Amino acid sequence: MLKFLGKRVLQIVVLLFIYVTVVYWLIEAMPGSFVDQYLLNPKLTPEIRENLKRQFGFDKPAHIRYLIYMKNFLTLDLGISFSYFPTRVTTIIAERLPRTVFLFVTSTLVSYVLGYNLGKRAAWKRSGLLDKTTTFVGIVFWTIFLPLLAIFNIWLFGVILKILPLNQFIDPNLWKSAPLSAQTIFIRLLLTALVFLIVFLIALLISNRLKTIPAKKTVLYTSSITTIVVSIVIWILSGYSTYAWDIIKHMVLPVLTLTLYSFAGSMLVMRDTMLDVIREDYITTAKAKGLPDNVVRDKHAARNALLPLVTNFVISLGFTVGGGIITETMFSWPGIGRAYLEALNTQDTPLLIGLLVFTGIFVLIAHLVADVLYAVLDPRIRY
Amino acid sequence: MTEMVVAEPLWKIRLKLWIRSLRTGWELFKEKKLALFGLGVIIFFAIFGLLYPLYPVVMKNLFWKHDSFGYQTFMPYDPIVGFDPDIMSHPSPPSLRHPLGTDPLGRDILAMIMYSTPREFVLGITAALITVIIGTIIGASAAYYGGVIDTFFMRLADIVMLFPSLALLMVLSAFMELTLFRLALIMGILAGFGSITLVLKAQALTVKVRPFIDAAKSTGASDAYIIFKHIIPNILPLSFLYMMFNVTGAIFTEAVLSFLGLANIRMSWGVIIQMAESSGYLMGASIGMYWWLWLPAGVCITLLCSSFYFLGRGLEEIVNPRLRKR
């Protein structure tokens, strides 16, 4: 295992360097540059021109700049953004990443829970009504033109029902006199969600040790409900609850859209694996023992079909950064995807390279985690 | 002992076998109602697109009989430069003259959709064909030769898969004008070196260890002969399956790129929605009021994408023994 991990990490490092190089030269070769919009000004004297070029680092030839970039990259410095001038690219990413990740983690979690439950039921009663409807609806949503879904949701929930805000991250009127920045409140919200997740996982572990089903259920439900109630009370007492609620309200629509869009992916994977597992002999044995249908389905079949789903989950988390472009544009959500589009439009080279490189790192780490998870979860797999 | 003489020429026997396998395939396929639905939608769109040249003629005879000068000047059913001068303000809601209304520039939406349909087919199928041809050849040769060739292409696939494809296409749109054909070519090549090679290589590896490959080798068949005559035909069903999924991906990507205004395509379903968006008809209350600007085109994209996906899923249940019903 360790040997495998070492080899894999080495491979990832090599891949990353090749990737960064390709990205760098690709963006470098893009026609035009950020300085051009200043240099095009005919009133500039040659000295100012030279000065401008020097300040943006364009006076050196491209390969020297590449070496400098690589040197900085090794010290985890992705440079300084042009369009947000003195801000570092890493700062921009650090500011925007939580928003994108929160959006995608929530929707991916919801869609995987949904996909897991629907997929196992669909496969269990193959060609039944549920199988047919979920497959049909799932594939239609899976291949839907994402902007169409976003427009439709905005129209339905924002315009017709008027219960949710149309887009943006916050409501500016509300935040005019806010004591804290939106980012601070958002980070605190994230922490709350994280605490909830940890409590939930611990409760899950404890309940697995317990013997009877009612005991399991009590532990799980009481702990989750207590955490939710306690966190809500803390938020209300802190006085920032209106602001937190504003952010949550703005999050509902993008999360809903993304969930609808992506639940079929996990559902189809779950269904196909289940179909494979159902044929195993131990399922027949379990049925022959006279176990209830639900128990065979949930305990014997679904547990073993879960593996591809879990690894798929991790890998799909890796693609969140790149996949956010459409959703974030449609909902004006200031995340990584929108930053990418903005950087592309303003030719903000350092930010563009930084975002692509960061996405690559994210994907590579996700793949590594998926590999490790695979080995941990499936005792048959030995590296 | 008399020798068996087969009177029929070889090609006739092959044809018969081919027809027979096609028939059994069709029997299996017929049971997949969703796949049949997909096929039906694809055929509908194909006919719908081919009928486009008739549409202006019919409309001209119905509404422009007495104004052939106006018709020739404004070409109201031209998808790119058309304009209807008899309507006070554009965009106008659906009417008899314009079954799906007009866009802010006064062009007929139905004409735009019909005009784009064959182009979507061409784009999707070209991109998918290129992907599958590249993927199949690389997958088969990587599995057959192994060693350096295998390592090289697999690592290449790793790097290609690292790139978020939409983000990469956005960068490429800065380099060149992404016309329909170029876009199809680029999407096809990018996808061809990506994950599809991994899948097809895995499949080719299972073919490579079968005895008939050794038999072919012992009779002195060349590497190329074995790859093209023995390995590729055996992984072709799987490649064909992936082609369907790739058509979906290509049409979707084109629509998104057009929607973001990054592709240089004069008219496509994505461009129709982009037109509505860029002229401000997708904001707040106008979304519902001007539904004909985005709904028909969006539904067309979704329907065509999902029908190819349905078809692919149906074929997958036939090709993939794991999913076959017992």
Nearest CA in chain B to A18: B159
**Per-residue confidence at B29, pLDDT binned at 50, 70, 90?**
confident
Q: Across the interface, do A341 and B174 touch by the CB < 8 Å criterion?
A: no
Q: Which residue has the higher pLDDT, A180 or B48?
A: B48
* Lowest-confidence pick of A185-189, A233-237, A317-321, B179-183: A317-321
Minimal Cα–Cα distance from A374 to chain B, Å? Answer: 18
Nearest residue, CB atoms, B259 vs list A32, A127, A147:
A147
Please count the residue pairs, one from chain A and one from chain B, whose beta carbons lie less than 8 angstroms apart.
117
Nearest CA in chain B to A139: B306
Q: What is the mean pLDDT of the segment spanning A265-279? A: 87
Q: What is the mean pLDDT of the segment spanning A252-277? A: 89
**Per-residue confidence at B3, pLDDT binned at 50, 70, 90?**
low
pLDDT of residue B304: 94
Q: Across the interface, do B162 and A19 touch by the CB < 8 Å criterion?
A: yes
Token pair, residue B208, equals 């490579």
**Domain boundaries along the sequence of chain A:** 89-334
pLDDT of residue A362: 84
Buried b / exposed e along A72-95 (16+ C-beta atoms within 10 A): ebeeeebbbbbbbeeebbbebbeb
DSSP A362: H
Token pair, residue B296, equals 């028909």
pLDDT of residue B297: 92
B290 phi/psi in degrees, rounded to 5:
-110, 50
> What CA–CA distances, in Å, run from B142 to A142, B152, B153, B224?
32, 9, 7, 12
> What CA–CA distances, in Å, run from B30 to A115, A131, B22, B312, B324?
27, 18, 12, 14, 14
Q: What is the mean pLDDT of the segment spanning A166-174? A: 77
Most B CBs within 10 A among A26, A125, A129, A143, hence the mutation to make, goes to A143
Nearest residue, CB atoms, A275 vs list B252, B255, B323:
B323
pLDDT of residue B43: 95
Q: Which residue has the higher pLDDT, A88 or B47?
A: B47
**pLDDT above 70 for A310:** yes
Looking at chain A, the whole-number percentage of residues with pLDDT higher than 90 is 6
pLDDT of residue A178: 73
**Contact criterion met (CB below 8 Å) for B230 and B222:** no
Among A195, A197, A203, CA closest to A221: A203
**pLDDT above 60 for B1:** no
**Per-residue confidence at A321, pLDDT binned at 50, 70, 90?**
low
Q: pLDDT tens-digit profile of B109-150?
A: 999 999 999 999 999 999 999 999 999 999 999 999 988 999
* Lowest-confidence pick of B6-10, B105-109, B141-145: B6-10
Helix residue ranges, H only, chain A = 2-28, 36-39, 46-56, 62-74, 89-124, 129-142, 146-153, 172-175, 182-209, 213-238, 241-278, 281-288, 293-295, 303-318, 320-330, 336-346, 349-377
Q: What is the mean pLDDT of the segment spanning B91-106? A: 86
pLDDT of residue B117: 93
Minimal Cα–Cα distance from B181 to chain A, Å? Answer: 21
Most A CBs within 10 A among B162, B241, B248, B289, hence the mutation to make, goes to B162
pTM: 0.89
Mean pLDDT of chain A: 85
**Per-residue confidence at B44, pLDDT binned at 50, 70, 90?**
very high
**Contact criterion met (CB below 8 Å) for A88 and A81:** yes
Interface predicted TM-score of the whole assembly (ipTM), two decimals = 0.86
**pLDDT above 60 for B169:** yes
Q: pLDDT tens-digit profile of B249-307?
A: 999 999 999 988 888 888 899 999 998 888 888 877 778 888 888 899 999 999 999 99
Chain B residues at the A interface, defined by Cβ less than 8 Å, are 33-34, 155, 158-159, 161-164, 166-167, 170-171, 174-175, 248, 252, 255-256, 259-260, 273, 282, 284-285, 287-288, 294-295, 298-299, 301-302, 305-306, 308-310, 313, 322-323, 325-326
Q: Is residue A86 reached through a cis peptide bond, with omega within 30 degrees of 0 on the bond before it?
A: no
Token pair, residue B278, equals 């860029």
Q: Across the interface, do A126 and B325 touch by the CB < 8 Å criterion?
A: yes
pLDDT of residue A66: 86
Nearest CA in chain B to A26: B171
B96 phi/psi in degrees, rounded to 5:
-65, -35
pLDDT of residue B326: 54
Nearest CA in chain A to B253: A145
Nearest CA in chain A to B316: A272
Nearest residue, CB atoms, B164 vs list A127, A166, A319:
A319
Chain A residues touching B159 at Cβ < 8 A? 15, 18-19, 22
pLDDT of residue A29: 84
Q: What is the mean pLDDT of the segment spanning B41-56? A: 92
DSSP per-residue string spanning A212-234: SHHHHHHHHHHHHHHHHHHHHHH
pLDDT of residue A381: 67
Measure the CA–CA gap between A133 and A154, rounded to whole angstroms: 25
